[in-house]
Chain A
């Protein structure tokens, strides 16, 4: 018989639920209790287990779709009813098979009201979600990841007293190092990650987060690389970067970006980092002022590398490949001079990389 799988009531708030991926493909067998799909709410990404054993016959909502609680998401072909499957034998009580409902002709059902689940609390929530979901004509709906990023960035800008230090650096050594690695194309960000990782070793305060009465040690030693994937913001963590080569770091960054492109749910999660590097140089921006990725102590904004005229001490004017850096700093954690020394150390590392 056919079993209609409806989205369980997994959202902690009135958040919509987004399907991340189907773990089982159509036509494949699944056991009762085996993970069937992965979903994302505003709180967590989680696996949803199949309530029945059978074969996944139809998928009614694709990866990326937002669904409401109680919405029909899949049809499974099962040999027994769910409750009979439990005992491994005939149900002890009177026959309680739900009538098999023929599949609807429409590909994408379902108004929230039509999909109303039986549970009374769930029903109320489904109605509330339906009422709050904006119609596409009235604006651009935000994805869950975008809402999470929006909340975190607003909190950062409102609660962290930022100050900003700007400087420039010579990219000569970096360019030479990059050329030497050819034909491998090293990611520019790999150099900044490595420079920050080496510099931060001598700046204990930047390895802390503000915790009211004290500076608490940060949870992670990873340097993050901010990436924009289809207008969703993510940070790729590079763990223990000071122990790695620029080649290794570059490969990890490219791998992290690929995971995001493929929709890997692990990559979409917020993972702790010590300090984030964000780069708009590739977008031809000379310099910009980034917002701290909480609870980090600072964020490094990287502008584009381009030929610039440099006045030397002896009065000569030379043309050199140079880039700009902006360090946004949590003033509760570091003073201007302390942060300036840190930024200076980053420049020194970059210029001798």
Chain B
């Protein structure tokens, strides 16, 4: 692969963000096992390139909508490890002041609508936001993340169709990780090519290797340009794989060993590291230094989160609508 078109800092930034997501997810797994962080968690190890590649194609005032599996999206969009961890700990200093928790992380000031845990729930919301952006002539774009399971929901049809008929600046990003909870896509779709089905809405769908961060970035960049030029919406299906159970309570027995091994060989971080090394953008020591820095930031954030203040009784009625 030829990388001359990219600045080294940009490439290393992509790498660092993917590592930040991986280490965050691996780290909170142990916090959950230790019982010092409440609630279950839905993790995205193995899917780092989708979040990082798409968000790298967005501006800071563009928006994303997310799902219950939103830690990666949040870190990719620029939320800090600290505000995310504090939120997971239920602290008042969290990105949603401790009222959202793992399934609802987000920060409107940083362009991320708090995660919508209802499957496909973010799709009509994204269409609505994109309509506002269009009416305001703001030039902003919404990227809407959802999984393969969301495609079977009525909200998918309603949101995608509405965006299509009104040419809304929304980039639909389907992270197809092959499983809706424990159900393989082939059990719920006769044609498992999701990108192809949006032709029925009169828009173009494109598939990309969701474990190749540059492929994701390039596809997203072209799609975002289309949206900004008033030729939205766009639809990307990113082929990827979830390495963990649906949640921490899911032992994931339904993923065949051979399938897991095949996808482990396509790990997005390892692959990108090989590219960076082969192009002499970084050596092992430089990549190790990035990982080390990320780990230190995470560990410091954990210690802060353990001592972060919980919301008080007075906070009960603030930031709520009903």
Contact = CB atoms under 8 A, between A and B. Distances in A.
Interface of A: 6-12, 32-33, 41, 43-51, 69-70, 82-84, 86-88, 91-94, 96, 117-122
B80 interface: no
Nearest to A123: B38
A87 B295 contact: yes
In this complex, which of B34, B40, B300, B301 has the most chain A Cβ atoms within 10 angstroms of its Cβ?
B34
Given A9-B35, A117-B35, 13 more contacts: A6-B35, A8-B33, A8-B35, A9-B38, A9-B40, A48-B33, A51-B30, A69-B35, A91-B299, A96-B306, A96-B307, A118-B38, A119-B37
B296 interface: yes
A33 B30 CA distance: 8
Interface of B: 27, 29-30, 32-40, 90, 248-251, 253, 292, 295-304, 306-307
B250 A92 contact: no
Given A82-B30, A86-B30, A121 B39 contact: yes
A316 B315 CA distance: 93
Contacts of B248: 8-10
B303 A118 contact: no
Contacts of A94: 303
Contacts of A6: 34-35
A22 to B, nearest CB: 16
A44 B253 contact: yes
Contacts of B27: 86
B97 to A, nearest CB: 15
Contacts of A50: 33
B34 A82 contact: yes
Contact of B251 (A7, A45, A117): A45
Nearest to A44: B251
Contact of B34 (A51, A96, A120): A51
Interface centre among A6, A8, A83, A84 (most CB of B within 10 A): A83
A347 B248 CA distance: 49
A190 to B, nearest CB: 29
Nearest to A119: B38
B298 A86 contact: yes
Contacts of B29: 49
A274 to B, nearest CB: 19
Contacts of B296: 87, 92
A49 B35 contact: no
Contacts, number: 91
A43 B297 CA distance: 37
B251 A119 contact: no
Given A10-B248, A87-B295, A93-B304, A119 B30 contact: no
Contacts of A88: 295
A93 B302 contact: yes
A7 B249 CA distance: 12
A9 B37 CA distance: 10
A35 to B, nearest CB: 11
Contact of B300 (A41, A92, A122): A92
Q: Which 10 A-B pairs have the closest CB atoms?
A: A93-B303, A119-B38, A46-B251, A92-B300, A93-B300, A92-B296, A51-B33, A51-B30, A51-B34, A96-B303
A117 B36 CA distance: 8
A37 to B, nearest CB: 12
Contacts of A96: 303, 306-307
B33 A93 contact: no
B36 A119 contact: yes
Contact of A122 (B30, B38, B253, B301): B38
30 contacts: A8-B32, A8-B34, A9-B249, A12-B249, A41-B249, A44-B249, A44-B251, A46-B249, A46-B251, A47-B251, A49-B29, A50-B33, A51-B34, A82-B34, A84-B299, A86-B302, A87-B299, A91-B303, A92-B296, A92-B299, A93-B300, A93-B302, A96-B303, A96-B306, A119-B35, A119-B37, A120-B38, A120-B90, A121-B39, A122-B35
Contacts of A69: 35
A93 B40 contact: no
A9 B32 contact: yes
A121 B89 CA distance: 11
Contacts of B303: 83, 91-94, 96
Contacts of A118: 35-36, 38
A6 B40 CA distance: 15
B249 A10 contact: yes
Contacts of B250: 44
A8 to B, nearest CB: 5
A96 B300 CA distance: 10
Contacts of A119: 35-39
A6 B33 CA distance: 8
A120 B205 CA distance: 44
A12 B42 CA distance: 13
Nearest to B295: A87
A49 B249 CA distance: 12
Nearest to B23: A86
Contacts of B33: 8, 48-51
Contact of B299 (A47, A51, A93): A93
Nearest to A47: B251
A353 to B, nearest CB: 36
B274 to A, nearest CB: 23
A328 B247 CA distance: 39
B254 to A, nearest CB: 10
B249 A11 contact: yes
Contacts of A12: 249
A82 B298 CA distance: 13
Nearest to A85: B30
Contacts of B306: 96
Contacts of A51: 30, 33-34
